[in-house]
């Protein structure tokens, strides 16, 4: 997949393009359903399939006080989009100037000028442009004038008939239902961060040395608790892990924010400074305070046993 940073650097494909536009936060199964339709129309028309997305969620500029926590950062989003088989992703910088741009100007600059759009595929409730005035109906009118078709697609539904959405996935994560979130994402939810030094208690005092993963700001996290996870190292090696996401109430009366500590099963090595990817598979239990370090250690042994059972099938491929 070709990635282009900014529409001004994107030359229109020689035969035109089939384009979709959106934040694509999470690249979940609903998004993949829409992207499959995009690729189908592109193949039928001999067009390049193109995703237009943004370098940040538009809500962080338009309504920062209520902007959602993200399911994926830009790096992971681009990786996931590449895995869908689209030909090109154009990353549009979203700032105050872009937020004030009319829907018509966006279409002329990006869809017509930069991409030579012949087909546009978006969610049926898609809105864009200043004041969210642009929608599928307006796109259809502009398409008639500028030579592209428009298809509004209903996002795919889950087994219960409910549309798959980033909002639903965030709610499941917040409740600690990482297995339910994975069903809608099509993969376990992943958190990425650098391994940093902690308070040094895990190995010497408890016998469970942990990788303390710095949590990035602005990303959605599972609810606090103990989880079975897959820990991926920069070289691609994947290790089973039992992870604590919380505030360590046995040792701290309060903490400024949640900490992510992953104990890699059957591993001995230095992880400091490396970029970790932690994929949450199952919530094992809630976080709680223990009366002594010894009681905590006994529970940690049980957590490791539970994590092994939860991860016995191996990582999803």
166 or 156, higher pLDDT = 166
Q: Kindly report the CATH number that applies to the domain delimited by 188-310.
A: 2.40.30.30
**Catalytic positions:** 261
pLDDT tens-digit profile of 134-151?
899 999 999 999 999 999
Q: Is 307 in contact with 284 (CB distance < 8 Å)? A: yes
The DSSP secondary structure of 132-158, one letter per residue, reads G-B-HHHHHHHHHHHT-EEEEEPPPB-
pLDDT at 254 over 80: no
Q: Cα separation of 128 and 307, whole Å?
A: 44
pLDDT tens-digit profile of 7-65?
777 788 889 999 999 999 999 999 999 999 999 999 999 999 999 999 999 999 989 89
For the chain, percent of residues with pLDDT exceeding 70 = 91
166-174 and 178-185 helices, crossing angle to 10°? 160
Domain assignments of the chain as residue spans, ordered by start: 2-153, 188-310
What is the pTM assigned to this prediction?
0.90
Q: Cα separation of 38 and 17, whole Å?
A: 10
The two most distant CA atoms of the chain are separated, in Å, by: 73
Which CATH homologous superfamily contains domain 2-153?
HUPs (3.40.50.620)
Same fold, 2-153 and 188-310: no
pLDDT tens-digit profile of 169-219?
999 999 999 999 999 999 999 999 999 987 655 445 566 788 999 998 899
Q: Is 60 in contact with 25 (CB distance < 8 Å)? A: no
pLDDT averaged over every residue in the chain: 90
């Amino acid at each position: 997949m070709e990635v282009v940073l900014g529409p001004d650097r994107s030359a229109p494909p020689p035969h035109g393009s089939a384009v979709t536009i959106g934040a694509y936060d999470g690249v979940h199964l609903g998004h993949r359903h829409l992207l499959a339709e995009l690729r189908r129309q592109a193949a039928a028309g001999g067009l390049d399939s193109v995703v237009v997305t943004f370098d940040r969620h538009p809500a962080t500029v338009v309504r920062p006080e209520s902007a959602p926590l993200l399911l994926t950062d830009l790096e992971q989003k681009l990786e996931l989009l590449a895995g869908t088989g689209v030909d090109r992703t154009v990353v549009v910088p979203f700032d105050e100037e872009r937020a004030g741009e009319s829907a018509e100007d966006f279409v002329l600059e990006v869809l017509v000028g930069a991409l030579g759009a012949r087909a546009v595929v978006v969610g049926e409730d898609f809105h864009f442009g200043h004041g969210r005035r642009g929608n599928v109906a307006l796109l259809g009118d502009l398409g008639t004038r500028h030579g592209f078709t428009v298809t509004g697609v209903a996002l795919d539904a889950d087994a219960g008939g409910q549309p798959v959405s980033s909002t639903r996935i965030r709610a499941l994560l917040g409740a600690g239902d990482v297995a339910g979130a994975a069903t809608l994402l099509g993969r376990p939810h992943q958190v990425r961060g650098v391994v940093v030094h902690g308070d040094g208690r895990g190995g010497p005092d408890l016998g469970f040395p942990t990788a303390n993963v710095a949590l990035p700001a602005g990303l959605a996290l599972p609810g606090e608790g103990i989880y079975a996870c897959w820990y991926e190292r920069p070289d691609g090696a994947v290790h089973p892990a039992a992870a604590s996401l919380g505030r360590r109430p046995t040792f701290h009366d309060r903490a400024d924010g949640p900490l992510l500590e992953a104990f890699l099963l059957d591993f001995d090595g230095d992880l400091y400074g490396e970029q970790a990817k932690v994929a949450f598979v199952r919530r094992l239990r809630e976080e709680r305070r223990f009366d002594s370090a010894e009681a905590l250690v006994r529970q940690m042994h049980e957590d490791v046993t539970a994590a092994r059972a939860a991860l016995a099938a191996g990582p999803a491929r």
